[in-house]
Amino acid sequence: MVETDLAPGAAGIACHEKPVKITTMDAQTIKVACSNCNLRELCMPLGLNAEQLDKIDEIVAVRRKVKRGSTLFHNGEKFTSLYAIRTGFFKTCVGTDDGRDQVTGFQMAGEIIGLDGIVHDHHTCDAVALEDAEVCVMPFDRIEELSREVNALQHHVHKIMSREIVREHGVMLLLGSMRAEERLAAFLLNLVQRLHARGFSQSELVLRMTREEIGSYLGLKLETVSRTFSKFADDGIVEVKQRHVRILDTDALRKIVNSPACH
Amino acid sequence: MVETDLAPGAAGIACHEKPVKITTMDAQTIKVACSNCNLRELCMPLGLNAEQLDKIDEIVAVRRKVKRGSTLFHNGEKFTSLYAIRTGFFKTCVGTDDGRDQVTGFQMAGEIIGLDGIVHDHHTCDAVALEDAEVCVMPFDRIEELSREVNALQHHVHKIMSREIVREHGVMLLLGSMRAEERLAAFLLNLVQRLHARGFSQSELVLRMTREEIGSYLGLKLETVSRTFSKFADDGIVEVKQRHVRILDTDALRKIVNSPACH
DNA sequence: CGACACCTTGAAGAGGTTCAAGAAATGTGG
DNA sequence: CCACATTTCTTGAACCTCTTCAAGGTGTCG
């Protein structure tokens, strides 16, 4: 609902396997090679020949580890690269002058972050790791260079950006017209759906973010998020134990999202 | 605040002058040529040489007129082209199964619509003309083809998409964390700012949309929009006569947007 | 000029927020 | 490994903003 399905070969661009340790480099950044990454199907265009794959291999400059709680990039920082998430979980958020901030998305393995930086050559949001993470660093000038040669890559980049635009349309719909229960139901359905596409359970998940972060994303206060979780639990729709959530009745969640605003 | 400044040469791609009438074609679609369009500075990459300009000239297949109230494209329709608005005013909106819909943006001359269609090769929203309009039709495969040859065009396309992503971040912030007065103030400031960049007044504007459409965009009911306009008028911040709005105190509007949630 | 769409305003009501307190989990340092 | 500090989560009660429902006014177009 909120975010589109993860079509195969759709989420990212390139993710690299076979790490090659280079002792003289910063321990945070490790040079890598890529073409047999286990996330490849998640994040590369399909149907490439060997030569094209080799070229795309060259996109990823390095991998970088990001500790839980620290930022991959932050508002105002010079834009140089897009990042493909290999492992871990991120949030992105924008802030106002007066201290408010708004979580604009949660990103997981195989997804791409950093697109916001292209327009002004500087990032306009923060990307914060919600758990220890590792990303593939893809210098954007390399991406542009290569996508002039490999048509499939060019189109893939366009699709990634378009997908993000469509995802945000969904969030606007959620924020603009749904009530608390609908928002949380849509949020949960979206999360399990994306996790399921990565081989995790359809019904069980561990939230990587706090109630406050969920609230920020959904335009609600953390107390409302907590209360809504409790209501879902009372209704037998989910089991909630802190950040562990088990969905008992997926259809009930779907009905909540699609209910024609009954009141 | 909500939408970024209109950097010169940033909004669109190509807009064509010198219409060439072709009598055998649909009256709605007119073949055109382009390079001296008066909107060029708004919507083309800068610093191109003559040869490159000629190439970009070839992007625009036709112009198309869209009558007030009719759609340029609609949800589910096959995606083929991006559209540069030459004249007129559009809204884009997404809908749910259960009949709700959400205005995701208002677009004016020099801006590009249709980016949502790239991911799934079909549009996922409606684009409706709020007044008689004319757009330049730019087949997307031509854009991809040419942007492989003209680096500036390639980067320009990326910037347009990134700009849209950043704009939507702003809307999410608005919907997720602002109260009614803040939302309307931000909306008005954004509109005049964009109109001003097109040579219109900084303080006077004619709303092309209804209260209900404003409300949908801002996540408010039309009554709330109306009441908030009245409150601004009472406070001497604006003069409102139906769709004619005169801003008397821009700073007051700015303060409302940036007020640290005082209550 | 009448029909229709759009806008304004009032009053009552609901959903979500705010404030507050306490419980549960997590992390830290001894 | 345990005790303590800190963060996170839950729940209650009062309050407030925005919505809902309703009526009447204004503008526009055939």
Q: What is the pLDDT of residues B204-215, one digit of tens each?
A: 999 999 999 999
**H/E element, B19:** none
Task: Give the orientation angle of helix B222-234 with respect to helix B180-197, to 10 degrees.
Answer: 80
Note the CA–C1' distance, A231 to D5, in angstroms: 31
What's the total number of domains in chain A? 2
**Residue B27 predicted with pLDDT over 50:** no
Whether A123 and A76 have beta carbons less than 8 Å apart is answered as: yes
Q: How far is CA A148 from CA A163, B197, B223, B248, in A?
A: 21, 33, 51, 50
- Asked if the Cβ of residue B217 lies within 7 A of any atom of strand C, the reply is no
B175 to chain A: nearest residue by CA?
A: A175
Enumerate residues 195 to 234 of chain A having a beta carbon within 8 A of any beta carbon in chain B.
Answer: 216-219
Residue A158 inside a domain? The answer is yes
Q: Does A80 touch chain B (CB under 8 A)?
A: no
**Burial class of residue A50 in the structure, from the number of CB atoms within 10 Å of its CB (0-12 exposed, 13-18 middle, 19+ buried):** exposed
Report pLDDT for B187.
Answer: 98
Round and report the angstrom distance from CA (B223) to C1' (D23): 14
Residue B16 lies in a domain: no
How many whole angstroms separate alpha carbon A263 and alpha carbon B15? 48
What is residue A7's predicted lDDT score, i.e. its pLDDT?
A: 40
Average pLDDT of the residues in B30-41: 66
- For the stretch B162-208, pLDDT in tens is 999 999 999 999 999 999 999 999 999 999 999 999 999 999 999 99
What is the model's pLDDT at position B49?
A: 83
Which range scores top for mean pLDDT: A130-139, B20-29, B49-58? A130-139
Q: pTM for the complete prediction?
A: 0.90
pLDDT at B99: 82
Q: A163 to chain B: which residues are within 8 Å by CB?
A: 119
Q: What is the CATH number of the domain that holds B252?
A: 1.10.10.10
Task: Judge whether B129 lies within some domain.
Answer: yes
Q: Are residues A127 and A185 in the same domain?
A: no
Assign residue A55 the CATH number of its domain: 2.60.120.10
Structural domain ending residue among the three candidates B171, B192, B213: B171
Q: Do B116 and A260 touch (CB under 8 A)?
A: no
What nucleotide is nearest B69 when CA is compared to C1'? C5
Question: How many Å apart are CA A37 and CA A16, to the nearest integer?
Answer: 5
pLDDT at A179: 96
Whether the beta carbon of A177 falls within 7 A of nucleic chain C: the reply is no
pLDDT value of residue A129: 96
Give the mean pLDDT per block of 10 residues along chain A (263 residues). 43 48 46 67 77 84 91 97 95 90 96 97 97 94 95 94 98 97 98 95 96 98 98 97 96 90 49
| B158 and B189, same domain (yes or no) | no
What's the confidence (pLDDT) of residue A145? 95
Q: Please tell me whether residues B35 and B86 are part of one structural domain.
A: yes
Same domain, A227 and A141: no
Where among B171, B186, B212 does a domain terminate? B171
Task: Say if A7 falls within a structural domain.
Answer: no
Residues B161 and B179 in one domain: no
Q: Give the number of beta-carbon pairs within 8 Å between A and B.
A: 160
What mean pLDDT, rounded, does chain B reach? 87
The answer on B140 and B243 residing in a single domain is: no
| H helices present in chain A, as ranges | 40-43, 50-57, 140-149, 151-177, 180-197, 211-218, 222-234, 250-258
Q: What share of chain B in percent tops pLDDT 90?
A: 71
Same domain, A115 and A229: no
Any CB–CB contact under 8 A between A169 and chain B?
yes
pLDDT for A224 equals 98
B116/A216 CB distance under 8 A: no
- Of residues A120 and B47, the one with the higher pLDDT is A120
Q: Determine the structural domain holding residue B46 and report its residue range.
A: 30-171
Q: Is B80 on the interface with A (CB under 8 A)?
A: no
Residue B194 lies in a domain: yes
Q: Do B178 and B96 have their domain in common?
A: no
Q: Examine residue A11 and state whether it is found in any structural domain, yes or no.
A: no
pLDDT of residue B5: 44
CA A223 to chain B, closest CA, distance in angstroms equals 15
Q: What is the pLDDT of residues B217-254, one digit of tens each?
A: 999 999 999 999 999 999 999 999 999 999 999 999 99
The residue among A171, A187, A213 that closes a domain is A171
d(CA A252, CA B183): 33
* Of A130, A129, A132, A128, nearest in space to A93 by CA: A128
What is residue A45's predicted lDDT score, i.e. its pLDDT?
80
On whether residue B34 sits in a domain, the answer given is: yes
Closest by alpha carbon to A106, among A182, A206, A14?
Answer: A206
Give B111's contacts in chain A (Cβ within 8 Å): none
- A123 lies in the same domain as A183: no
Is there a domain that residue B104 lies in? yes
Same domain, A130 and A233: no
Are A124 and A191 found together in one domain?
no
Residue A14 has what pLDDT? 54
Identify whether residues A163 and A195 lie together within a single domain.
no
What is the predicted pLDDT for the residue at A66?
95
| Res B36: pLDDT | 67
